Structure 1
Amino acid sequence: MNCHDLDFNISRLGRCRIPSPLSGVRFVRNDERVLYPSDASAIEACVAEGKPLPAFEAAGPREQIYFDPSKLKCGIVTCGGLCPGLNDVIRAIVLSLFHHYGVATVFGFRYGYEGLTHRHGHRPLELTPRAVADLHQKGGTLLGSSRGPQDVSEMVDTLERMNVGILFAIGGDGTLRGAQAVTEEIGRRNLKIAVIGIPKTIDNDISNVQNSFGFETAVSEARTAVYSANAEAEGARNGIGLVKLMGRESGFIAAYASLAHSEVNFCLVPEVPFTLDGLLAALKRRIESRGHAVIVVAEGAGQDLVERPRETDASGNVRLGDIGIFLRDMIPARLKNLGMDVTLKYIDPSYTIRSMPANAHDSVFCLLLGHHAVHAGMTGRTNMLVGFWKNEFTHVPIPLAAFERKRIDPEGRLWSNVLASTGQPKEMM
């Protein structure tokens, strides 16, 4: 999609008339923008054609706010799979609401969007600074999580009944689409409720967001698995270490883990097809020349090679075939047929990584995401999420983030760097 076709406008509930209680901070003007293109030729083309430069609204506190903090109640929900940093974001939102703005009532809705419906019987938690004091030291989510859609009308009924003014939805593309549906129902009822998203996807696959929280922790925690795979491979004659990492449709974790740990010789991602014969030929050459090999595979890679269950999960995602187990079993058997006996060790650290606490960098990132989400919500902005672009926090309309997944460009710089680091052939067909 051409960047000029993108709509960067942020919806608002109304004019901001209340002076912000914040002091001693740098307030952001409403006209401050973060440029979308970074390529000089794209910017020059816009200028030459007399077109406005595509840009995100800059995130941050404003001098005037929409909601009266003394009357405001807020809600937080976490959806989808676990991800490092979930608790950090919850804590940051709660502390910012209490200490920056003086909001006294914050509800935590249990087990994702289920907590906004009455049929499941989940009672909301009341979140206070004391309740979240040491939350950032723990993995997982205090609120619990779930997948799958719920009745939108019933969710808005709950928000209206509990007099919630801002709902903070922490989750991936499915969560964001749900948040958009909630926003639309709120609009049909002419309610003054803001919906603010915080992008949570360990796969880092949300469009028009440079980084999502938990991704750096995931790459860092993959280190142990890759190191172990390499040690096992070097310790055996014709040794192979095979590591399966997260990445249903986007292979960013596998790619960055391969760059971070240059012992990796083959990186397999969903965006770049390969055949078993092509992989085996390259793998055999590698072992013959170096005596061992390390393979990192994203869970969504090679789905055309494996048997896939004919079913979907609660979020509507087609269940994947297990490429890790497939390669674990097929590589030794097929190489033996080619006259090479190998020792293969298989490691799948996925759930260990998902449940880890955030590392230091992600903790900082989560804190600032939470703060910026609160600043946006207090100004009555809605149907948006807090993004990160060119190292700046931004406001991103939810439709702009959820319309497609961000994926690795096989002709782009990232994949070129992976090929240079691993030494694998560009094509293994």
Structure 2
Amino acid sequence: MSNKIEFQIENLGVPKLKSPLQLSTVRGDDIFTFISETDKMVFDTSLEGYAKCLANNEEPLCFEKAGPRQNIHFDPENSTAAIVTCGGLCPGINNVIRGIVMALHYFYGVKKILGVPYGFEGLNPEMGHGFIELTPDKVKDIHQFGGTILGSSRGAQDVSVMVDTLLKNDVQMLFTIGGDGTLKGCNAIGEEIMKRGLDISVVGIPKTIDNDVDIIDKSFGFETAFDIASPILKDAHNEAAGAYNGIAIIKLMGRDSGFIAASASLAMPVVNFVLVPELDFELYGKNGFLEVLKSRLETKHHAVIVVAEGAGQHLFEKNDVMTDASGNVQHDDIGIFLKQKIKDYFSDVFPVTIKYIDPSYIIRSAAANSSDSVFCSSLAYQAVHGAMSGKTKFVVGKVNDKFVYLPISAVVSKRKKIDLEGGFWFSVLQSTGQPFFLG
């Protein structure tokens, strides 16, 4: 597959209706203009990448620039949109819902907007959830609250049944807010729609508190997550320092990637050890974690340990791999495991006091902070612009700090992970004093 096709967005047809947006068509740095289909954003912005393309006479790998188009595909007056939220909670979901409703109503004049209750379950009539009518008045204040006003669920539903429901309710645009499993489900719905030759756009807004969606700079809710975690780390440090040989263990979310644990530890530099899924550390031996922890306590007499939920899974004896309703591997509890191993190890060395803290569900159900709130609104607006122009099976996100459209298939092929040889992880090691050899 060529690079050109890899990031190509599918369209329902050539948009022929004039956009109701009153924007300038003249380019200018400070003028909000319509985006042309030829407006592209280069993926690799390095001089080396540019020189390579120039030498090989190749067009660089590009994304479609997000934003309003001069011509749109759907007639706003006769269009129905639906919004669904799936998977675990994350700060900012309500902000995205609000942004989509406001953009559809005030930008384009779409009058009928449906909220799908409890994830993809809501697209299965047998579940009996029905729909919620969403209006600007109904969503105007929801950004103040965490969670999702629509409710959520995990697990797949019959794709054919979900498409039948969209068709029966005359839905032209489906906005799905969710993580890896949700986006794959959205893509499958899009495939079924294309197979039937239906005129329905499906759009994904990536939602994962772990920030592990590939290619895009960050996912919404991530900044709020480590922002809320930071003062918890400060309090945990106070607990650890308040006891002779005191140890505080804080387990943060991060099933496959340790971005929250690492970022929170950088934001509140009182942490001495950061254990993430990318790091295959050992417990015992000269270079093992417990021996390094012992050295720390012998000199400083306290330690703060931040561990991501997916860290250290290689330390467990597993016969069977269990998955949740979304298909995610169910991990063993590394926090409780680590607490017990530390307790056992130091029982024959010297007395320690261990405090264990797991604030994960408090963090993920919080309302978005100011930065995430702005980001969520922008994601919502750009998603609406893309859907109205007839684009489908795409996600909106920032790449190189620019809003772009990407095919769903491009971002779900693998998870984004911390590069243990990159500058970000090196910053964590410098901040914590954690030895390089650990892992």
Hey, what does 1:381 align to over in structure 2?
391
Q: Secondary structure at the match of 1:372?
A: helix
Q: Secondary structure at the match of 2:84?
A: strand
Hey, what does 2:342 align to over in structure 1?
331
Q: Is 2:331 the partner of 1:320?
A: yes
- Describe the superposition over 1:129-173 as per-residue Cα deviations: whole angstroms up to 9, x where unpaired: 111010100100010000111000000000001010000000011
Q: Secondary structure at the match of 1:185?
A: helix
| Residue number among 68, 85, 95 corresponding to 1:78 in the alignment | 85
Q: Structure 1: give runs of 5+ residues left out of the alignment.
A: none
Percent identity reads 52
Matches within 5 A, 1:286-297: 286-297=296-307
Residues 254 and 297, structure 1, Cα contact 8 Å, conserved in 2: yes
Q: What is the identity, as a one-letter code, of the residue corresponding to 2:78? A: K
- Describe the superposition over 1:327-373 as per-residue Cα deviations: whole angstroms up to 9, x where unpaired: 11111220232x22111111100000010000000000000000000
Comparing 403-412 with 349-358, greater Cα deviation is found at 403-412
Residues 230 and 265, structure 2, Cα contact 8 Å, conserved in 1: no
| Residue number among 374, 378, 402 corresponding to 1:392 in the alignment | 402
Hey, what does 1:243 align to over in structure 2?
250
Residues 270 and 302, structure 1, Cα contact 8 Å, conserved in 2: yes
Q: Is 2:366 the partner of 1:359?
A: no
Q: Distance in 1 between matches of 2:116 and 2:230?
A: 34
Give the TM-score taking structure 2 as reference length.
0.95
Q: What is the identity, as a one-letter code, of the residue corresponding to 1:295? A: I
Hey, what does 1:163 align to over in structure 2?
170
| Residue number among 195, 201, 217 corresponding to 1:210 in the alignment | 217
Hey, what does 2:22 align to over in structure 1?
23
Q: Secondary structure at the match of 1:131?
A: helix
Q: Distance in 2 between matches of 1:188 and 1:310?
A: 34
Q: Distance in 1 between matches of 2:227 and 2:109?
A: 37
Q: What is the identity, as a one-letter code, of the residue corresponding to 1:189? A: R
Q: What is the identity, as a one-letter code, of the residue corresponding to 1:185? A: E
Q: Distance in 1 between matches of 2:125 and 2:238?
A: 52
Q: Is 2:264 the partner of 1:257?
A: yes
Q: What is the identity, as a one-letter code, of the residue corresponding to 1:243? A: I
Hey, what does 2:418 align to over in structure 1?
408
Give the CA deviation at 1:208.
Answer: 1.1
| Residue number among 90, 106, 110 corresponding to 1:103 in the alignment | 110
Residues 241 and 293, structure 1, Cα contact 8 Å, conserved in 2: yes
Matches within 5 A, 1:218-229: 218-229=225-236
- Describe the superposition over 1:32-86 as per-residue Cα deviations: whole angstroms up to 9, x where unpaired: 1121113321221122111111111110111111111011000000000000000
Give the TM-score taking structure 1 as reference length.
0.97
Hey, what does 2:9 align to over in structure 1?
10
Q: Distance in 2 between matches of 1:206 and 1:428?
A: 27
RMSD between aligned residues: 1.4
Hey, what does 1:147 align to over in structure 2?
154
Give the CA deviation at 1:262.
Answer: 0.9
Q: What is the identity, as a one-letter code, of the residue corresponding to 2:362? A: T
Hey, what does 1:123 align to over in structure 2?
130
| Residue number among 338, 343, 360 corresponding to 1:350 in the alignment | 360
Give the CA deviation at 1:317.
Answer: 1.6
Q: Structure 2: give runs of 5+ residues left out of the alignment.
A: 24-31
| Residue number among 204, 207, 212 corresponding to 1:200 in the alignment | 207
Q: What is the identity, as a one-letter code, of the residue corresponding to 1:9? A: Q
Comparing 413-422 with 347-356, greater Cα deviation is found at 413-422
Q: Distance in 1 between matches of 2:390 and 2:4?
A: 25
Q: What is the identity, as a one-letter code, of the residue corresponding to 2:437? A: E
Matches within 5 A, 1:256-275: 256-275=263-282
